[in-house]
Copies of this chain bind each other. A is one copy, B any other.
Amino acid sequence: MKRKSPQGIKEESMSILVVGSVAFDSVETPFGKVDEVLGGSATYFSSSASFFSDVNLVAVVGEDFPDAHLDFLRSRNVDLAGLQRAPGETFRWRGRYGYDLNEAQTLDTRLNVFQDFRPDLPENYRDADFVFLANIDPELQLEVLRQVRKPRLVACDTMNFWISGKRAALLETLKHVDILVINEAEARQLAEEANLSRAARRILDLGPETVVIKRGEYGVIMFNAHSIFAAPAYPLEEVFDPTGAGDTFAGGFMGYLAANRNLAEQSLRRAIVFGSVMASFTVEDFSLNRLRELDYAAIEDRYHRVRLLTEFDGPA
């Protein structure tokens, strides 16, 4: 896919297939309140990844989903051929955060059209090289993998609900996954192990070659068989709304990898930092507001700031 590169997208970058949710979020934080704004894992992921790579989106929305949101995604070069429109209402989530912004309290979840969602990949999506299975039913994640021919890299997310409720299907999915991107508490729950390093080892035994553990304001830690990489979160004086931070992280991470087609350790590390940088922008405003006005220069600038934040030299 060739085109000019307004946001740093490399001409030879590979496109990413993402399956997940497109939703309306209603969120309350100590700093404000929004109703039925654009949200959903696939939305955050694809908007973030779009700064680095092309994205093919597989999801479902209802009849109530406004064209303006579709236009936004298209403006970010997100391909919507895989976005189904089904009779009924779009998926809705309502949540609240306290001053400790690390964890959302879910007030209401309405699956609506997502209830009967069956992913059906357009023919030209089936040759995807980079696949991200956002946090959905692991049986649907498997269904997507069955439709993809020979992906070069499969990453996935999951949550406590599936870890406890659909463990067998999740373990089956993990056998086909290269990189698991997961929260700290979920990593401990999945591995049934309180020590995070040991939990990571156990997860690597389940299939993934790499596990990327998201720790909120403490950053990200990545484990594989040979190394560990820890990156801090960019320290912000204003964290407005953490919703979507994890999916935005995954979007930047996968976007960078797809853009550079390099899965070596140093590339994975840079991808982690780009993912963290993207997440740090998302939390500065509600919904995708901050990503809407972002440009690639600001992303690179913050990447450099994270380098300054972490560098130290050898013992004197």
Contact = CB atoms under 8 A, between A and B. Distances in A.
Contact of A232 (B221, B227, B266, B307): B221
A217 to B, nearest CB: 7
- How would you classify the secondary structure of chain A's contact residues: helix, strand, loop or mixed? mixed
A293 interface: no
A269 B221 contact: no
A229 interface: yes
Given A221-B235, A230-B235, A270-B312, 18 more contacts: A99-B194, A195-B239, A197-B235, A197-B237, A201-B237, A218-B218, A219-B230, A221-B232, A228-B309, A229-B310, A230-B310, A231-B310, A262-B316, A267-B316, A269-B313, A300-B315, A307-B312, A307-B314
Contacts of A195: 236-239
The 10 closest A-B pairs by CB, nearest first: A230-B232, A269-B312, A218-B218, A99-B194, A197-B235, A197-B237, A198-B237, A230-B309, A303-B315, A310-B310
* Copies of this chain, tallied across the complex: 2
Contacts of A307: 312, 314
A183 to B, nearest CB: 14
Nearest to A260: B316
A226 to B, nearest CB: 10
Contacts of A201: 237
A228 B234 CA distance: 10
